[in-house]
Amino acid sequence: MALNKRVVNIISNRNYESRKTSEILVSKLRKSGFEPSVTYDEKAELNICIGGDGAFLRAVHRSKFPSIPFVGINTGHLGFFQEITPDGIDTFIQRYISGDYNIDEIFLVSASICSDEKCYYQTAINEIVIKGIASKIIHLDVSIDNNHLEKFSGDGLIISTPVGSTAYNYSAGGSIIHPSIKALQITPISPIISNAYRSLPNSTIIPGDSVIKINPERRYMNSILIVNDGYEYKYKDISTIDLTISKKTIYKLNFSKDMYWENLKNKFL
């Protein structure tokens, strides 16, 4: 590999449109003096993800939340992570070479899932969901910084990041939070409100330096399903789940300060 080459990772899903776009992108990058890599190179200066939002999420997880910035080319449905259209590749390359972009920091959510004997750790971009296996009702004690908030009963809880606030959280009735705000959101899924269980019916926004502690009732310790950005995980004898803003962050190129609001309007209105 020539020393003057600038390495760029190309991460694409397998559908026809994405593969075709990847071939065009590789050719154009080479002509502009870059060295495109379709196998992940940890020394690359940029990750270009081709597909929809799902492809973006998978790419970040598989590359283990790197410090290399991401940018997305959208070949799927309108999403919030994929900013470039396939017919805008030339403009993107020109603006990237000239430095005409900003780099946004994206906050993540981390979970520590513990039994009496062992802890497991998860990091998510959009959300971590705590719900019942086989759609069972679950009962959870929820505290914020050791202050008891509620005794939840229902289908589950979504703990979402600001970028995840427009995903599952929004569909469940949660609020939209701008990605620049360092916060987490707790959104109930079909809460039951009774004399025994005092579940909040609406979402709650938590400061970024706070710890959300969730304790399943003992009889439900093996009825809990953890869903991380759509990936399901089952653990035995869960006693405590602690959720916080992660110490990890990822970075994304942004070519317009108005893109978020344009996406918001085009996607939901």
Residue of 53, 155, 229, 237 with catalytic role? 53
**Phi–psi pair at 25, nearest 5 degrees:** -60, -45
**Token representation of residue 93:** 């390359």
Task: Let me know if 155 is a catalytic residue.
Answer: no
Distances from the Cα of 39 to the Cα of 9, 15, 24, angstroms: 7, 18, 17
Instruction: Label each residue of the chain as H, E or C.
Output: CCCCCEEEEEEECCCHHHHHHHHHHHHHHHHCCEEEECCCCCCCCEEEEEECHHHHHHHHHHCCCCCCCEEEEECCCCCCCCCECHHHHHHHHHHHHHCCCEEEEEEEEEEEEECCCCEEEEEECCEEEEEEHHHCCEEEEEEECCEEEEEEEEEEEEEECCHHHHCHHHHCCCCCCCCCCCEEEEEEEEECECCCCECCCCCEEEECCCCEEEEECHHHCCCEEEEECCEEEECCCCCEEEEEEEEEEEEEEECCCCHHHHHHHHHHC
Distances from the Cα of 204 to the Cα of 122, 154, 177, 185, 246, angstroms: 21, 16, 11, 6, 19
Residues in the chain: 269
Catalytic residues: 53
